[in-house]
Structure 1
Amino acid sequence: MSTGREIRLIEEDKGGWSAIDEELNVASQGETREEALANLDEAVELTEDAREADTDAPEPNAPWFEG
């Protein structure tokens, strides 16, 4: 099943693969091409869900940055 997405696959110099959906500005990685693509599918789904929900990002819980 084709979604019409154009994806870039990059074999990294130190091993592993990166998969990038530049239209959605989402990327992922994996040890194999298949794993990188599966991880990208999950990242795209989560990104689309978050964009549809249109909620504010939560405040970071980083007490070491408090003045």
Structure 2
Amino acid sequence: MSADTDGRGRDSPNAPVEITLSLGENGDLWMARDEETGVASQGETREAALENLDEAVALYRGDVGRAPTDEEVVAVGIEPDANASGDLPDVLK
């Protein structure tokens, strides 16, 4: 059986994915692991663990990335109009 690809050699969102989902030893966190990449994540619910895994795998593959909005920048204490590239607030230094 062949898997669909997105033209870059990666599986499409509809291709089968093997994921291991288990409850942690203390019973308070769910662990999710993508078997193809070895990337793992966790969450307080199964759904949260799987959502976190989706994000972690996307980051691993380099599929995520966008410039932050002005609102997101302001939320972390940076004034977009007064900031030159490379200037960081003290909290990020």
Verify same fold: TM over 0.5.
Answer: yes
Q: Who is 1:53 aligned against?
A: none
**For structure 2, which runs of at least 5 residues remain unmatched after alignment?**
1-12, 64-93
Q: What does 1:1-67 align with in structure 2 at a 5 Å threshold?
A: 2-14=14-26, 15-49=28-62
Q: Who is 1:54 aligned against?
A: none
Q: Supply the distance in 1 between the matched residues of 2:57 and 2:29 (Cα, whole angstroms).
A: 19
Higher relative contact order (CA 8 A, sep 6+): 1
Greater shift, 37-46 or 10-19, is seen at: 10-19
Tell me the secondary structure at the aligned position of residue 3 of structure 1.
coil
Tell me the secondary structure at the aligned position of residue 10 of structure 1.
strand
Tell me the secondary structure at the aligned position of residue 2 of structure 1.
coil
Larger radius of gyration: 2
**Normalising by the residue count of structure 2, what TM-score does the alignment of the two structures yield?**
0.49
More helix by share: 1
Aligned length in residues: 50
Percent identity of the aligned residues? 52
More strand by share: 1
Q: Supply the distance in 2 between the matched residues of 1:33 and 1:4 (Cα, whole angstroms).
A: 19
